[in-house]
Amino acid sequence: MKRIFIPVITGLLLVGCQQEKPKNVIELNYPETEKVPVVDTYFETQVTDNYRWLEDDRSKKTEEWVKAENAVTFDYLDKITYRDQLKERLSELWNYEKLGVPFERGDYTYFYKNDGLQNHYVLYRKNKEGKDEVFLDPNSFSEDGTTSLSTASFSKDGKTLAYAISEGGSDWRKIIIMDVESKEIKEDTLVDVKFSGISWKENEGFYYSSYDKPKGSELSAKTDQHKLYYHKLGTSQKSDKIIFGDKPEEKHRYVGGSVTEDGKYLFIYPRTSTSGNKLLMQDLTKKDSPIITILDDTGSDTYVIENEGSKLFLVTNLDAPNKKIVTVDAANPGVKNWKDFISETENVLSPSTGSGYFFASYMVDAVSKVFQYDYEGKLIREIELPGVGSAGGFGGKKEAKELYFSFTNYKTPGTSYQLNPKDGTYKKYWKPNIAFNSDEYESKQVFYTSKDGTKVPMIITHKKGIELNGKNPTILYGYGGFNVSLTPSFSITNAVWMEQGGVYAVPNLRGGGEYGKKWHKAGTKMQKQNVFDDFIAAAEFLIKEKYTSSDFLAIRGGSNGGLLVGATMTQRPDLMKVALPAVGVLDMLRYHTFTAGAGWAYDYGTAEDNKEMFEYLKGYSPVHNVKSGVEYPATMVTTGDHDDRVVPAHSFKFAAELQEKQKGTNPVLIRIETNAGHGAGTPVAKIIEQSADIYGFTLFNMGFETLPYSPKTKVKG
């Protein structure tokens, strides 16, 4: 056993700043993690993997290791006396009614609602007389709340629903088909569906996607040939027709399909990675019509957003890194015939359609601006938003007379608005009744300079009037990859953090999509270090400006953001007090050998590409850069034992390396959520418990023996 010592809480102090170290300590024993060396050779370089055995998620040995690690972790967390206070406050703040925007299908108006602390949103419906009723309640799917609703799609006439469920957080889904009027299940459940939408062909059936069930572990075995299927109602899944992906020349890692609103066309989107797609089309009005290729390479992200008869509207970043909309006739859809409809601008475009209009939403330094266009491409107006933040929605059927959108930022809970698209006016549709006073907080955007001189935006949110004395507990959150944009949005968990006097800072790192394809590419493959440099520079900015100091700084991120945290803490362990890598991609030499991980190669490259790429990946791979004798920050790794997107072996191996090599008394824990996956569909109860654990761990290791601030008494200590 390796032993370190953690402080025992011995009494109460009166101020919410860093406390003197308590004299008493308690012994913390890590489980013994056996080393079973496996040696791989990459371009004549040998790399030893001592913990390869932890990749076997089906072994009894791995199961016992998980139990032992969780026992140590929760024993530690139980000694943080204010963890229950955090949980109580999270539950209290979370307990407010949440309402989704309504949508019409058939004879009913549907909407999602959560009464407060329900694990999952409930789908309600309202008839023409205005009477509400529960239509589908995911909270009844399982006793422990770990089975969730992931997708719900209605037939064109609204009389049949196909909905997908996830069990234990897995990406593998089941599709259930229901008669809307009687709520009775119509036929056998479709099984073994993964990374799929549900797109109806009129009322006859629907398209969905999946892989052949892998040999070995369904949670970690490689899946790389996605197929698009068509399921006709009233037939068995065994007879479902493969539309695309079965032939060797059609092999792609991801394949999606969608049908236009008028039911005329099927569009197929084959991908080899998470960025870039081919585009194919089939005319559904003609029997056995051939599949026609519009784009035969994956050099752009292109999709069809709308059609008027044979006139197609496509969103693309082909020769337009910030995206534009083009039109083309379906009879001759090749690139040479494309015509600009809404041209590219200096800001990134994310459009939607509804009520016979296009709504062009732009990110301007990660903040929303929205413009309305007609079908001739004429600018109608700018939609004046309620404030500075993120707006989403503006979508609906062509015949819809009203549209809805939401607005939020880091200090403002999401509020829904009802828009009249004819004159651009809107009114508040629903505002949450939440016990959080946004007026007591401020959020501002700053620009700081990264290592190579690049200007990077960051939004910093906190209580008004905080003293810039370097002692404010601060969470620096980042992602920086896969063209994902971090735009301002409200979070209950972040609100509780800020109530405790915490600062919450989010930089828009390279690798994201905030400034289009160029910004994304600047954080990929041989330029991935730019992302870590941007994150490090953000931390240095916060310290320089005295928002915080290294003793009060925590870094946090999940998935690709977990990689960000792992790389940053191994490169600059002196920079932060706490590190919180969640469901992270942490073994960069082997990530592509699990499930659909090879699809991430656009961002990362692989160790098999060439010697230079191998050496670059090995140079920052968190698992391979933990060094003996280094004092790493207090670390709590979090993952789920059913995560089949970023398999938990990444987190297992990283925690094992840290526990073996850590110098000093900073704890290294791994919190493994059982019967949980990558995050989607996680029950509210589990989110609250995990958040209380994370915040308790963070504050405790920053030296706080009591909560810095009590929201009830509004006094420190």
Query: Is residue 569 a contact partner of residue 579, using CB atoms and an 8 Å limit?
Result: yes
DSSP helix/strand/coil, 507: strand
Measured between alpha carbons, how far is 256 from 269 in angstroms, rounded to an integer?
A: 5
What phi and psi values does residue 599 have, to the nearest 5 degrees?
-70, -10
Task: Please name the residue that has the structure tokens 């007591």.
Answer: 440
The crossing angle, in degrees rounded to 10, of helices 60-77 and 649-661 is 60
Measured between alpha carbons, how far is 243 from 350 in angstroms, rounded to an integer?
A: 29
Query: Is residue 598 a contact partner of residue 251, using CB atoms and an 8 Å limit?
Result: no
Measured between alpha carbons, how far is 641 from 648 in angstroms, rounded to an integer?
A: 6
Long-range contacts of 332-339 (CB under 8 A, 24+ apart): 333/281, 333/292, 333/294, 334/294, 335/294, 335/295, 338/314
Lookup: tokens for 79: 């000694």
- Residue 226: active-site member: no
Q: Within 13 Å of residue 546, how many CA atoms lie on the same side as its CB?
A: 4
Strand partners, 161: 154, 178
E strand spans, 311-378: 311-316, 324-329, 339-342, 348-354, 357-364, 367-373
Lookup: tokens for 110: 């549907």
The crossing angle, in degrees rounded to 10, of helices 83-94 and 684-701 is 140
Q: Within 13 Å of residue 364, how many CA atoms lie on the same side as its CB?
A: 10
CA 37 to chain centre: 34
What phi and psi values does residue 95 have, to the nearest 5 degrees?
-85, 70
Strand partners, 634: 578
Query: Is residue 153 a contact partner of residue 199, using CB atoms and an 8 Å limit?
Result: yes
Query: Is residue 328 a contact partner of residue 338, using CB atoms and an 8 Å limit?
Result: yes
Which among 390, 520, 678, 691 is annotated as catalytic?
A: 678
- Residue 343: active-site member: no
What phi and psi values does residue 91 have, to the nearest 5 degrees?
-65, -40
Query: Is residue 508 a contact partner of residue 456, using CB atoms and an 8 Å limit?
Result: yes
Which among 559, 621, 651, 691 is annotated as catalytic?
A: 559
Measured between alpha carbons, how far is 43 from 682 in angstroms, rounded to an integer?
A: 41
Strand partners, 358: 353, 373
Query: Is residue 470 a contact partner of residue 548, using CB atoms and an 8 Å limit?
Result: yes
Query: Is residue 33 a contact partner of residue 50, using CB atoms and an 8 Å limit?
Result: no
Measured between alpha carbons, how far is 566 from 554 in angstroms, rounded to an integer?
A: 12
State how far the alpha carbon of 281 is from the alpha carbons of 199, 278, 375, 479, in Å. 14, 10, 22, 34
Q: Residues 455, 456, 462, 467: is their CA dihedral positive or negative?
A: negative
Query: Is residue 422 a contact partner of residue 479, using CB atoms and an 8 Å limit?
Result: no
Measured between alpha carbons, how far is 293 from 315 in angstroms, rounded to an integer?
A: 16
Report the chain's terminal Cα–Cα distance, integer Å.
Answer: 36
Which is nearest to 241 in space by CA: 228, 258, 251, 256? 228
Measured between alpha carbons, how far is 249 from 537 in angstroms, rounded to an integer?
A: 45
DSSP helix/strand/coil, 361: strand
Residues tagged active-site = 559, 678
